[in-house]
């Protein structure tokens, strides 16, 4: 049996702590440990930080046995799709969004909507192993 939770929030950075708190509650509901909770929060925070500061975003969470699947979008930042496809370090030595997500979640992907927006899928497994 799985549960679904949806949230819509402004992309304004002032709402970051609110989103972090809600993600923490969702991870607690799924019996995630601290490290898994922290990884999921980091993935969502970084994704929203890259998405800009205007508009609204929807976060849909599906909780299952030992996992949380998250859909984040629509995101209108034009370079976001490119950032998600670049898993290697950037030429300046910094980490790319794709590399960060690959490190903190078990899988991620994205799709472009018909309007050209990005919809990102994240999956985090409790303990980093399949249930």
Is the pTM higher than 0.75? The answer reads yes
How would you class 131 by CB atoms within 10 Å of its CB: exposed for 0-12, middle for 13-18, buried for 19 or more?
exposed
Tens of pLDDT, residue by residue over 56-84, are: 999 999 999 899 999 999 888 767 777 77
> CATH says 3-128 is which class?
alpha beta
Least confident of 2-11, 40-49, 73-82, 86-95: 86-95
pLDDT at 92: 58
Q: Which of 5-9, 74-78, 84-88, 97-101 has the highest mean pLDDT?
A: 5-9
Kindly list the domain boundaries of the chain, sorted by start residue.
Answer: 3-128
* Weakest-pLDDT range from 13-17, 32-36, 118-122, 126-130: 126-130
């Amino acid at each position: 049996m799985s549960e679904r939770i949806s949230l819509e929030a402004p992309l304004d950075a002032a709402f970051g702590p609110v989103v972090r708190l809600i993600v923490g509650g969702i991870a607690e509901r799924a019996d995630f440990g601290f490290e898994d909770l922290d990884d999921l929060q980091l993935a969502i925070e970084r994704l929203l930080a890259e998405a800009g500061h205007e508009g609204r975003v929807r976060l849909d969470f599906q909780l299952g046995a030992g996992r949380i699947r998250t859909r984040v979008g629509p995101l209108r930042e034009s370079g976001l799709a490119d950032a998600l496809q670049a898993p290697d370090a950037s030429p300046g030595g910094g980490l790319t969004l794709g590399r960060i997500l690959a490190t903190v979640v078990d899988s991620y992907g994205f799709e472009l909507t018909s309007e050209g927006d990005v919809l990102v899928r994240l999956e985090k497994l409790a303990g980093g192993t399949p249930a």
